[in-house]
Structure 1
Amino acid sequence: MYACSKNEAEIKPEEKNISFIIPSNFPAPAYNFEENKLTNAGFELGKKLFYDARLSADKSVSCGSCHQQFAAFANLDHKVSHGVNNCQGKRNAPPLFNLAWQKAFFWDGGVKNLETSPLNAITDACEMGTDIQTIITFLKGTAPYPEMFKQAFGSTEINSQLVLKSFTQFMGILVSGNSKYDKVMRKESGVSFTAEEQTGYTLFKAKCTSCHAEPFFTDFSYRSNGLDLVSTDEGRSHITGLQSDFGTFRVPSLRNIEYTGPYMHDGRFYSLDEVLEHYNSGVQAAQNLDPSLKNGIQLNSSERAQIKAFLKTLTDNEFIKNTLYSEL
C-alpha cells in the first residue's frame, strides 16, 4: 500500500496523510526522505510550485504544462518540450513517476540528484527560461507563498534549497505501482492475466527485458536503439564526452506506456504499432547500436497484439486519475 490507494479515493487531498510507502514488489528507493521530511504542507507547496506558470519567464509555462497527469505526467500533445515564447525544445518530455528509484535524470542522465532536477527546466531557454533567484524573489513577494513556506519548513525564509526540497516532496511521491501487472505480481485476489496478456508477458520476457527490466520496465542504462544511422542528437556523449555514448539515451520505463506517447527521445512515433515496427524492420546499423538489437526484434502480427495486450497491463489508472496529484 502507499499514499494513493484506492480506498482513500473519496478523501479530500488536504485530509490525506502524505506518506511515501514502497509497493511490496519494488526494491528500496535511491532517494531518502529522511533529509527532506515529507509533510502535507511541504507536498502542497511542491504541488503549487509544480503547477504555477508564473514561475516561467513569460508566465505561460509550468512544470505541469509539459508533464500532464492524464499522460502519466508526460507531454501528450507535443513531440518535444514546448516552452516559453512558444519555443520548441529538442527532446520529448519524459513521464514523471517512480523518480525516487532513479539515480540519474533526463534522457542523457545529466543530473544525478532528484532535488536538483527541476533546475534544468527552470533555466532552459526553451522551457521555463528563468533562474532560481528570480523565482525566489517572486515567491518572497507573492502570497500565499511566504506562509506556505512557513507551514512547510517552519520559517518564512525562502531559498533555493527549500524551493527544490518542496518540488521533490511533490515529485518524489509520484509512485506508480498499482497497475494490473503489479496486482498480478503481488498475487492479489481476483486479478489474473488473460491468456493473451500472459502470452504477451512471456514474449516480453523473452525479447524485451534485457533493456526493459522489471519491476520498473527499464534498467536505467543508456543505449542506442538504431533510430538513425547517424543520430542528430549526440545523446549521453554530451554529458560524458565519450564517443561510445554518442546517440545513446536512457532506456525509458514502459509503465503507463499506453498514455505516454509520443515515443522515443524525439517523440517521432505516435503509436505503439510504429514503435514495434521500428524494432521489427527499422533498426539502423548505427555506430553505437546496442548489440542486442543487431537483428532487430522480430514479431509477427499476432505477437505484436499479444505484446501490446501485456503492455496495457502496465497502465496504472489509479495513479493517472488520483486527485491528490491534480492541479486545484
Structure 2
Amino acid sequence: MAPNTRGTPGPATEVAGPAMPRPLEGAVYGLLATRALELAVRHGVFRELAEHGPSRDGELATALGLDRDTLGRLLTLLRSLEVVTADAEGRYTVPPHSRPYLDGADPRFLGGFLRHLVESTADQLAHLEACLTRGKAAADAALPEPFARIYRDEESTDRFLDAMWQLSFDVSGELVELAGLDRVHHLVDVGGAGGPFAVAALLRRPVLRATVFDLPQVAGRLRQAGLRFRLGARLAFAPGDFHQDELPRGDCLAFGYILSDWPDEVCLELLRKAHRALAPGGLVLVMERLFDEDGYRPLATAAMNLAMHAETQGRHRTAAEYLGLLRRAGFTDCAVRRSGREKHLVLGRRSESALHPPGRWW
C-alpha cells in the first residue's frame, strides 16, 4: 500500500478525536434523560425502590409489570446520570441526594413538574422555531392567551396546578420566614393557583388570613387544599382576572411565579395595582427564580427562561431588574432575600404616609 502522502492518518494509524465535552453531552442527550426520568416516576420505579430496597431490573420489572429490557435501558441511563446507583450485584438504589425529589410523599417531589415538562412544555417547544424566525409577537399573533391554553380543560389545569404546587410549597415555608409576616393580618396571594404559598403562610402564622385571587378554574383545587390542611375560613378564594380587575385589598400582596409570565409593562401595571390595593406600610412580595447578575446562571433558570418564551409572554430576570420594577411602581425599602432553593424573594413596602380611602383593609 502506498504511503499516505497528504499527512492524513490511514486506517492503521487512525487517531480517535477527543470525547464530547461533558456539558455538551448533557445538552445533547437531555431530552432523553428527562423522558426516562419521567417514565420511571410515572411507573413507580422509585416508589418500589423506596419501599422494598435495592432491587435488580428483573425484580423491578416483575413487581411493576413492566418490560425488563426497556426498564433495564431506562435504569442504565439514570445510572449514568447518577440519579440511581447500582452495586456489584446489579441491585439499583436511589442515593440520598436524589431521594427527596423522587419520593411522592416528600414535599420536594418533582413528579408533577416532570409530567408538565413532558406533556406540556415539550409540545410548546416546537413553537420556539416560529419565535426564532418570525419574532415572538408575530409567532403568537394567532394563538390564544397563555392561560386560556393552560386552563383549557380539567386535565391540563390539574397538570399545571400539580407542577406549581410541587415547585412552590416546600420552599414557601422558607420564604414565609424570609418575608417577616409577623405583623401581617391579611395576605392576598395574586395568581396563587392551588395555594402553595398561602397555605404555607397560614400554617406558620396562626393569626393570619389569606385570600387567593385567581381565575375561577382553580377554585376547586384551593378548596381541596383548605380541607386537607384544615384551614377553614382562614383561607378564602376571590375569583378574578388581574389584567382586568383591581386586586383585593390587604396588608401584604404576594406574586409567586407570576411576574415571570409577563413582559415588563404588564409587570409594572400589576405592581401598581398592588400598590393601590395595599394598606399604608404594607408589603409586596415577588417570589421567583432569579438569574445571577451575570444574566445566564443558574442552569435551571436559563432553561425555564427559554421554555417560558414558548409557553408564556414573560422571562426570568435578575434581582436588580425586579428591584427596578418595584421602585418604578412606587415601592420603597426594597430588598432581596435569597432562599436555599431555586425560588427567592424580592420585596418592597408601600410608604406609611400613602393616602387611601378610609375603611378596613382586610
Q: TM-score, normalised by structure 1?
A: 0.24
Q: Which TM-score applies when normalising by structure 2?
A: 0.23
Larger strand share, 1 or 2: 2
Greater share of helix residues, 1 or 2? 2
Larger radius of gyration: 2
For CA contacts below 8 A with separation 6 or more, give which structure has more relative contact order.
1
